[in-house]
Every structure is written in C-alpha cells, then in structure tokens.
Structure 1
Amino acid sequence: MKLLVIYTHPNHESLNFGFLNKVLAGSRENPDIEEVQVVDLYEENFNPLLVFGGEKRRRDMHRDPAFERYRQQLVRADKLVFIYPIWWGRPPAMLLGYIDQLFASGFAYKEEGGLLPEGLLKGKSAVCISTMKGPAKYPLFFLNNAHKALMKKAVLRFVGIKKVKFFEFGNMESASGNQDKKLAEVYRYFKKLER
C-alpha cells in the first residue's frame, strides 16, 4: 500500500505536526505500507491561488506542467491522508487551493453528460485528520457537519473516492483535550491499517 500524506499547517511545532509524525511512525511499523510520500504545502510554498487568463484556461488545468509532480503523486497513491486544522468550519485555504488545482477536470474527473461526472481517482481511499479549538461536537450540532460533507461528498466522492475515514478532534487547545490519547489513536490506526 502506498500513502500520500497532504500536510497543511504552517507550524512544525503544532499538534498537527505531531499527528503527521504519528502517521509516519505507525506507517513505518506497518508491513502492509510500502511507501509514504509527504506533501507539506506550507513548507513547499504551494501557491493556492487560481489564476486564469488568455493563456491559462481552467479547462487546461489537468495538463499544467507546474502540477505534474503532484498529479503523479496522486496517481501513485492507494490512500490519501489529509492532516489539517479546521478554521472557520472548513480546511485551510491552502488545502482548498491544492484541491482546486489538482482535482481538475480531465485528471480527477471527467464530464460524461449525466447528472454527475465520472470520478477518475476511484479505487483509492482517504483519511482526514483534523483538529479544532472548539468542542468535538460543534461541527455536528452547529454546522450540520459542513466539514465532513465538504470533504467526503463535495470533494472526495466527486472524484471517485468513496471510502473516507475521519479523525475530527475537538478541544485541542484545552489542557483537558486528551492530546496524547488522540495522538496514540492515530499512531495505532496507521500501525494496523490494511488496504
């Protein structure tokens, strides 16, 4: 199994970076995981801005040479792992910019003339590990699960990825947030993960 980890947090001393390290540690101890690639969007200075004009058209994004390395990483991976904070009820703009530019028509999906397009990333699965300052149930009760609906239905299912596991951790800036327990949970999950 090949993993592609898309890490989206600007601080390498953050709890999110701790989750990244637990994903890597668990994966190293899992004999079913043969490869892990990490894309650190902030470290790589990924440009999340969509820019279109006369020479750069949206319908050509699937061929943009600036994103060829990222497209090859997505093709190679069996499982995508997203690690990010939830800000304003959604993932950071940096991650959404990555999705905007990489999950392009002609690469991640194709129009077939029906109600929905055909997802071209089918056969892959995904794990979303997210942290937030607020209570764990806040997105469910106050935002109608907007974050999960965005990631699972609007993004991943649209491109053919149907199997999605969520670790949505709340109270992460609280002394009583059980951070060590949650870090250990993620480590154990990747240590035992099967395709």
Structure 2
Amino acid sequence: MKLLVIYTHPNHQSLSYAFLQEVIRGGEDNTHIEEIQVLDLYEELFNPVLVFNDTKRRRDMHADPELTRYREQLIWADKIVMVYPIWWGRPPAMLLGYIDRMFASGFAYRDTGGLFPEGLLQGKSAVCISVMKGPAGYPLLWLNNAHKILMKRALLNFVGIKKVKFFEFGSMESPKGKHKEKLEKVYRYFKAINH
C-alpha cells in the first residue's frame, strides 16, 4: 500500500503536525505500507488560486504542466491521507484550493451526461484527520455535519473515492483534550491498516 499524506497547516509546532508525525510513525511500523510520500502544502508554497483566462482555460486544467507532479502523486497513491485543522467549520482554504485545482474534469472525474459523473480516482481510499478548538460534537450538532458531508460526499465520493475514514478531534486547545490518547489512536490505526 502506498500512502500520500497531504499536510495543511502553516506551523510545524502545531498539533496537526504532531498528528502528521503519528501517521508517518504508524505507517513506517506497518509492513503493509511500502512507501509514504508527504505533501506539505504550505512548505511547498502550493498556489491554491484558480486562474482562468484567454491562455489558461478550464477545459485544459487536467493537463496543466504546473500540476504534473501533484497529479502523479494522486495516481500513485492507494490511500490519500489529509491532515488539517478545522477553521470556520471547514478545512483551510489552502487544502480546498488544492482540491479545486487537482480535482479537474478529465483527471479526477469525467462528465457522462447523467446526474453524476464518472469518478476517475476509483479504487483509492481516504482518511481525513482534523483538529478543532470546539467540542467534538460541534460539527454534528451545530453545523449539521457540514465538514464530513463536504469532504466525503461533495469532494471525495464525486471523484470515485468511496471509502473515507474520519478522525475528527475536538477540544484540542483544552488541557483536557486527551492529546496523547488521540495521537496514539492515529498511530495505532496506521500501524494496523492493511488495505
């Protein structure tokens, strides 16, 4: 199994970065995982801004030479792991900009003329690991599960990724946030997965 880990936080002293380290540690201790690639969007200075004009057309986005290496990573990966904070009830704009640019028609999906497109990233799975200041039940009770619906139904399922696992950790700025237990939970998951 090949893991692509997309890390989206501007600070390497953050709790999100600690979760990234546990993903890597668990993956390295798992004999089913043959290789791990980490894409740090902020460190990479990834440009999340969509540009369409006379020379840069939307219909050509799937072949944008600037994004070749990122497309190759997505094709290469069996499992796509996203590690990010929840800000304003959703992932950072940097991650959503990455998705805007990468999930292009002709690469991530193909219109079929029907109600739904054909997802071209079928056979892959995804894991979303997110942390937030608010309590764990906040997204479900106050936001009608908007974060999970966005990530699973609107984005990942749309491009053919049907198997999506969530670790949505709340109260992470509290000293009672059980950080150690949550970090250990992520480590154990990645140490044990076999598909």
TM-score normalised over the length of structure 2: 1.00
How much has 1:59 moved relative to structure 2?
1.1
Q: Which amino acid aligns with 2:181?
A: K
Q: Spell out the pairing of 1:1-195 with structure 2 (5 A cutoff).
A: 1-195=1-195
Distance 2:167 2:184 in 1: 12
Distance in 1 between residues matched to 2:108 and 2:48, nearest whole Å: 17
Q: Distance in 1 between matches of 2:161 and 2:50?
A: 24
Per-residue CA deviation, residues 27-84 of structure 1 (Å, 9 max, x unaligned), is: 0000000010000000000011111100001111000000000000000000000000
CA distance, structure 1, for counterparts of residue 131 and residue 179 of structure 2: 10
Question: Amino acid of the residue matched to residue 9 of structure 2?
Answer: H
Alignment partners' CA distance in 1, 2:128 and 2:82: 5
Q: Secondary structure at the match of 1:177?
A: coil
Separation of aligned partners in 1, 2:167 and 2:69: 28
Equivalent AA in structure 2 for residue 116 of structure 1: F
Structure 1 residue ranges (4+ consecutive) displaced by more than 3 angstroms after TM superposition: none
User: What is the distance in 2 between the residues matched to 1:50 and 1:157?
Assistant: 22
Provide the C-alpha distance between the structure 2 equivalents of 1:162 and 1:90, rounded to a whole number of angstroms. 20
Distance 1:52 1:114 in 2: 26
1:139 and 1:85 mapped to 2: Cα distance? 13
Residue identity matched to 2:67: F
Q: How far, CA to CA, are the matches of 1:59 and 1:171 in structure 2?
A: 42
- SS for the counterpart of 2:139 is helix
The letter of the residue matching 2:120 is L
Runs (5+) with no aligned partner, structure 2: none
Count of residues in correspondence between the two structures:
195
- Provide the secondary structure at the position in 1 that maps to 2:142: helix
- 1:194 Cα deviation after fit: 1.1
User: What RMSD in Å do the two structures reach over aligned CA positions?
Assistant: 0.4
- In the alignment, the residues of structure 1 paired with residue 38 and residue 111 of structure 2 have an alpha-carbon distance, to the nearest angstrom, of 30
SS in 1 for 2:38: strand
Q: Within 1, Cα distance between the matches of 2:57 and 2:179?
A: 44
Rounded to whole Å, the distance in 1 between the matches of 2:38 and 2:24 is: 9
After superposition, what is the alpha-carbon deviation per residue over 1:122-149, rounded to whole angstroms, capped at 9, x for unaligned? 0000000000000000000000000000
Gaps of 5+ in 1: none
Code of the residue aligned with 1:59 in structure 2: it is R
Partner amino acid, structure 1, of 2:180 = D
- Please state whether the residue corresponding to 1:5 is helix, strand or coil: strand
Q: Distance in 1 between matches of 2:103 and 2:39?
A: 15
